[in-house]
């Protein structure tokens, strides 16, 4: 380990693997290390043995759950938006050749005690039980306005300035009811809370258009998902890195981030060996997350916590038209919270569990000191739960950009139900490391789903 690298990457989570893949393609000499003996870090998919070892070390998995190797249970539930940024990176890097995708069968929203399909077209909006007759007309006008918007043609603006008017003002112009605003803002624009209403409308407009264009791509829902679980994603980018000369070391304890007298990064020590590099990038767990800084520098701070409950079911979720996979969003207003509750469900169709088992993961941002009670509205929608594994994880964010000491730290995986924020972080870290924006060259390749 005595040669020098351009970049050392610590942790094989998705964010780190995308970065190591893209850095390797860029011609950087990359060494990628992980303390675990498996890929994925916090965003891994575990088999039954690994799952029980993590949550219940003193228990063996029940035999009726089937074979160990039939399982790939995601620790962090997210779906890929079909026309989103992660799809662009997958296509640009040709990483799609290592993966096979399947569509998620349905996108649902919780309202007034019931689960309903999220309408994604004017036609569906007209049929949706989420709105009364007059509200449907207003919603139809709103969707037509969004689809007809052209920046360069003021005739399409209807007196609205997306960069000056707030989203609340746009809703008001179309006279949309609070319940309709709920499903548009949370189930289509996919905001976690209602702060977006007081901000300029353009980001919300862009998010709704992303949702509807992703929906139009495959029909049933705007989401796709990799066969064999999300843990396939970091591995696919790791392969990309390896093709371009990246070196991988798993099961390698990281004992120290070595810096010089000025606090600048020099290398990484594992046992008695130190490997040098110009820059280091890694997830918060390698930079003191969860530990008190003993005389050292505080490199990451906790921003909040997310609770996630992995539930094994023996049936599809009631009210989802027997879908083999689904996303259900419970907007915060519906259950008197500040943050939405998400349910992501996949099944043996996606090669992540045994036949006739369904894996539903309920998650939200923690708001009280009794987090498990906070996800109760989500758990109640699942019907009888065969088994559940609950975790509360801290969300860490770096205290500095890394430009002064060459230590670049990624953010923890948030509570959103998709990967757009992960890609934002990739772009952000890339710019801090390389000094210029990440530019993906356009390739027109369809992702098969």
Cα–Cα–Cα angle for 390, 394, 398, rounded to 5 degrees: 155
Where do we find the tokens 């569906």?
Answer: 124
pLDDT in tens, the chain (449 residues): 567 999 999 999 999 999 999 999 999 999 999 999 999 999 999 999 999 999 999 999 999 999 999 999 999 999 999 999 999 999 989 999 999 999 999 999 999 899 999 876 667 777 888 889 899 999 989 999 998 999 999 999 999 999 999 999 999 999 999 999 998 999 999 998 999 999 999 999 999 999 988 988 887 889 999 999 999 999 999 999 999 999 999 999 999 999 999 989 999 999 999 999 999 999 999 998 767 655 567 899 999 999 999 999 999 999 999 999 999 999 999 999 999 999 999 999 999 999 999 999 999 999 999 999 999 999 999 999 999 999 999 999 999 999 999 999 999 999 888 999 999 999 999 999 999 999 986 544 455 66
The answer to whether 268 and 275 are in contact (CB under 8 A) is yes
The answer to whether 229 and 74 are in contact (CB under 8 A) is yes
The answer to whether 415 and 50 are in contact (CB under 8 A) is no
What residue ranges in 63-191 does DSSP mark as E strands?
73-74, 80-81, 101-103, 106-111, 114-117
Q: Are strands 247-249 and 30-33 parallel, antiparallel or unpaired?
A: parallel
For residues 237 and 19, what is the distance between their CA atoms, to the nearest angstrom?
8
């Amino acid at each position: 380990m005595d040669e020098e690298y351009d970049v050392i990457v610590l942790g094989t989570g998705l964010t780190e693997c995308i970065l190591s893949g893209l850095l390797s393609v860029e011609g950087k000499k990359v060494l990628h290390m992980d303390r675990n003996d498996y890929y994925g870090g916090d965003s891994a998919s575990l088999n039954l043995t690994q799952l029980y070892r993590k949550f219940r070390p003193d228990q063996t998995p029940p035999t009726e759950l089937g074979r160990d190797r039939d399982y790939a249970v995601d620790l962090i539930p997210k779906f890929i938006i079909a026309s989103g940024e992660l799809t662009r990176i997958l296509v640009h890097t040709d990483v799609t050749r290592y993966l096979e995708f399947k569509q998620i069968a349905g996108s649902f929203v919780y309202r007034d005690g019931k689960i309903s399909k999220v309408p994604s077209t004017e036609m569906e909006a007209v049929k949706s039980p989420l709105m009364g007759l007059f509200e449907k007309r207003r919603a139809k006008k709103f969707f037509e306005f969004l689809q007809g918007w052209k920046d360069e043609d003021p005739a399409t603006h209807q007196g609205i300035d997306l960069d000056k008017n707030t989203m609340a003002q746009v809703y008001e112009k179309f006279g949309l009811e609070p319940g309709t605003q709920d499903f548009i803002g949370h189930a289509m624009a996919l905001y976690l809370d209602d702060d977006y209403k007081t901000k300029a409308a353009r980001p919300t407009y862009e998010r709704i258009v992303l949702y509807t264009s992703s929906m139009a791509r495959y029909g049933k829902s705007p989401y796709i998902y990799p066969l064999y679980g999300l843990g396939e994603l970091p591995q696919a980018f790791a392969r990309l890195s390896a093709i371009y000369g990246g070196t991988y070391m798993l099961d390698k304890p990281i004992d120290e981030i070595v810096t010089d007298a000025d606090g600048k990064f020099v290398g990484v020590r594992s046992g008695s060996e130190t490997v040098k590099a110009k820059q280091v990038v890694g997830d918060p767990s390698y930079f003191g997350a969860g530990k008190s800084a003993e005389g050292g520098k505080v490199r990451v701070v906790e921003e909040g916590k997310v609770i996630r409950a992995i539930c094994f079911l023996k049936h599809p979720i009631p009210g989802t038209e027997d879908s083999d996979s689904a996303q259900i969003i419970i907007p915060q207003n519906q259950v008197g919270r500040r943050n939405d509750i998400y349910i992501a469900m996949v099944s043996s169709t996606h090669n992540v569990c045994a036949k006739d088992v369904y894996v539903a993961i309920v998650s939200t941002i923690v708001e009280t000191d009794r987090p498990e009670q906070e996800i109760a509205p989500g758990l109640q929608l699942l019907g009888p739960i065969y088994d559940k594994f609950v975790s509360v994880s801290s969300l860490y964010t770096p205290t500095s950009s890394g430009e002064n000491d060459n230590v670049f730290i990624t953010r923890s995986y948030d509570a959103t139900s998709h990967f757009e924020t992960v890609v934002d972080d990739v772009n952000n870290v890339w710019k801090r490391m390389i000094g210029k924006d990440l530019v993906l060259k356009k390739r027109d390749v369809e992702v098969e789903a």
